[in-house]
Amino acid sequence: MPNVGETVGSYELVRKLGAGAFGEVWLARHIELGFERAMKIPTDSDYIQQLRKEGQIQFTLKHPNIVETFDLDTHHATPHLVMEYVEGEDLRKRLRARGKLPPTEALPIVRQILDALHAAHAQGIVHHDLKPENILLAADGTVKVADFGLGRVQATVAQSLLLSGSMVSREGKSVSGTFEYMSPEQQRGEPADPRDDLYALGVIGCLTVIVIGVLLVATLRVNGIPFREWLFNKSKSSPEQPPTPKQPPVLRWRGLPSSSSLDRRLSISVDWSTQDADVDLIVVEPDGTTSRLRRSSRRIPPRETWSTEDARPGRYEVSVQYCEGCTVPTTVSLDVVLHGKRPESPAPPRILRPGSRETIAFVEVR
């Protein structure tokens, strides 16, 4: 276990800031330059690989409302993650000390959290463990969201429902996060989805910041049932049947020249938000010919393009396969050009889960 005054890399440990199922967070001071950082140190070797994944995820997030990651060393004798130190308090401490926050104070907090989530979701990253402890409040009013990726830490035993960790759903799937703030889908062990974060923020905003204030989840009752029991029963109940998914859009063009004089060049491109992911672009031509292109994760930017100089009349099916080994959803955007023009109505972006294959559009050539 680390101790005060111990040297870790270029830093000296000053004091412990907190501890959880994953390990400890310390205030660390650079030995030569004197600036201070927060340092996360796993207390069990089983968490080193997870620390590496968390550091890699957080390093890609550069936003004023997200705690910045500066360094990661999992090969050091004391593996550690070096992050921005936010001098202030977390939201849970403030609520316990002051109770219900006035709207003039609560709304700017919620707004800044939304800004942070929007930036993360745009890169295909889901927090998956949003809760008051992970919302840091600086003295100048700036809000910093911390611990992106922490919800995927697999704890051997969940000591409490208020600790981040791994549980098992009734379907036998691993469930990571904090129970009170989990969406029913997350409680059932379904893949991470940006809407899980919005659900958690809704619980934080409506149940703690605006209504309850002091986070009395232990005494809160819903229809006479203790809050935790109500949540647990809700997670066990059979999920509602999802609505019938919308049909992929059909992309069409107006005002093109007649087919005899039409430049038949057609290009279909997909972009996606997760930099280190392999994505397959699959195009099925009107005669059934299928082309499958894979963009390697080593290539930047993340785009793949299929094209032909002689587009045949008929309908082209455009599908995307997202890699099985990826850990977060990705946002896919489609760009189609025929005769140097884009369709009258472009296809909307789609969020794909790891391992999924979806038809994202049909392209109609006349």
Strands of the sheet with 250-251, listed across from one edge: 250-251, 357-365, 314-322, 279-284, 290-295
* Residue labelled with tokens 């229809």: 223
The tens-digit pLDDT sequence of the chain (366 residues) is 788 999 999 999 999 988 765 678 999 999 999 999 999 998 877 778 778 877 887 888 899 999 999 999 989 999 999 999 999 999 888 888 887 788 788 889 989 999 999 988 888 888 888 888 889 999 999 999 988 755 433 232 223 222 233 333 333 333 445 666 777 777 666 767 888 888 888 877 764 444 444 444 445 565 666 655 555 555 545 444 444 456 889 998 876 655 555 567 899 998 876 666 678 899 999 999 999 987 654 444 577 889 998 888 899 999 998 876 666 677 788 899 988 888 888 888 887 877 888 999 999 988
Q: Of 1.20.1250.20, 3.90.550.10, 1.10.510.10, 3.40.605.10, which CATH number belongs to 87-240?
A: 1.10.510.10
Among 30, 26, 81, residue whose Cα is nearest residue 53: 81
Residues facing residue 336 across a β-bridge:
268
What is the chain's alpha carbon radius of gyration, rounded to the nearest angstrom? 24
pLDDT of residue 238: 45
The dihedral built from the CA positions of residue 181, 277, 316 and 261, taken in this order, carries a sign that is positive
Q: Which residues are catalytic?
A: 129
- Yes or no: say if 82 and 72 are a contact pair by the CB < 8 Å rule: yes
Structure token digits, residue 281: 């672009």
3-state secondary structure of 17: strand
- Amino acid found at 121: H
For the chain, give the longest Cα–Cα distance.
Answer: 80
- Residue 233 has φ and ψ, to the nearest 5°, of -65, -40
Residue spans per domain, the chain:
1-85, 87-240, 250-365
Q: 310: closest CA among 271, 267, 274?
A: 267
Cis peptide before 243 (omega within 30 of 0): no
pLDDT at 171: 36
**CB burial string 103-120: b at 16+ within 10 A, e below:** eeebeebbebbebbbebb
Distance, in Å, from the CA atom of 124 to the CA atom of 107, rounded to the nearest integer, reads: 26
258 contact partners, CB below 8 Å, separation of at least 6: none
Class of domain 1-85 as given by CATH = alpha beta
Contact 24, 44 (CB under 8 A): no
CA–CA gap between residue 291 and residue 320 (Å, rounded): 12
Considering the segment(s) 250-365 as one domain, its CATH architecture is Sandwich (2.60)
